[in-house]
Amino acid sequence: MSTRPNDSHEREILVCPNAESVAVEAAHLFVRLATEAIRDHGRFTVALSGGSTPKRLFQILATPAYQKQLDWSAIHLFWGDERYVPADHPDSNFRMTLDALLSQVRIPPANVHRIRTELSPAEAVATSYESEIARFFAGTHERFPTFDLVFLGLGTNAHIASLFPHSKTLQEQSHLVVADFVAEVNMWRITMTAPMLNAARNIVFLATGADKAPVIRDVLFGDYDIERKPAQLIQPVHGQVTWLIDKASSAQLPPNSYRVLSSN
């Protein structure tokens, strides 16, 4: 167990009535941050996550009401992690995003930066993706590129992206992207590292369901132990962390530690 670092970053916990309202609130946030980023520096860079809540978010962003609010020509999409499966595989995070969002909006193909899982071995995929990220952000950062927005899910085991408990990747400090064989799921995963994620301007956790209540409480208010709770690695250098969760998943949080949002 380690000593919890000082939380110098801004953190906000927002509780929505249900999973649908979490997705809607995330869509509102996406539009606001996109508008601000494009106005300020001409583009909006996002690292996406997989999962059911992000899928619903993507479906909402694909609706005409949201499409007309977004300049997709200035939006660049990346992925925080990916399973080492073909791009058209049902378990692919890219495939899910393609079906829910990319096939519905007019985003230039060059703005879609998927993880090239057709490469072999898995380590080559990670090296390739790290190189692509470095090229895209060339000249705009010192050590780790700064995404405007990173979405993260949260596993019931406190994993984020594909940073799993007791994984060697938890100690990575140099690379932007790594490959790891995760015994827990018996699969190779490609993932952004904690320093890469922590360089973002905005990090948004999306979590719903009563099964997430214990882990959310433990990550946010329990003892500091990144080996058991990789989500505690999220300590952004200059950015803000927002937890968008539903009522069921907030059930074990201390009173007055969060802000309740009304139904969207």
pLDDT tens for each residue of 32-45: 999 999 999 999 99
pLDDT at 140 over 90: no
How many Å apart are CA 24 and CA 192, to the nearest integer? 26
User: What is the per-residue pLDDT across 60-93, written as a single tens digit (0 to 9) for each?
Assistant: 999 999 999 999 999 999 999 999 999 999 999 9
For residue 119, give Cα distances in angstroms to 47, 75, 195, 245.
21, 26, 24, 36
| pLDDT for res 3 | 55
Residue-level pLDDT at 5: 63
Q: What is the pLDDT of residues 196-235, one digit of tens each?
A: 999 999 999 999 999 999 999 999 999 999 999 999 999 9
The pair of three-digit structure tokens given for residue 35, joined into one six-digit string: 């508008």
Q: What angle do CA 179, 52, 203 make, to 5 degrees?
A: 60
Domain spans in the chain, listed from the N-terminal domain onward: 10-260
How far is the C-alpha of 78 from the C-alpha of 54, rounded, in Å? 14
pTM for the model stands at 0.95
Instruction: Give the pLDDT of residue 10.
Output: 82
CATH 3.40.50.1360 fits 10-260, yes or no: yes
Q: What is the pLDDT of residue 7?
A: 56
Lowest-confidence pick of 6-15, 177-186, 187-196, 203-212: 6-15
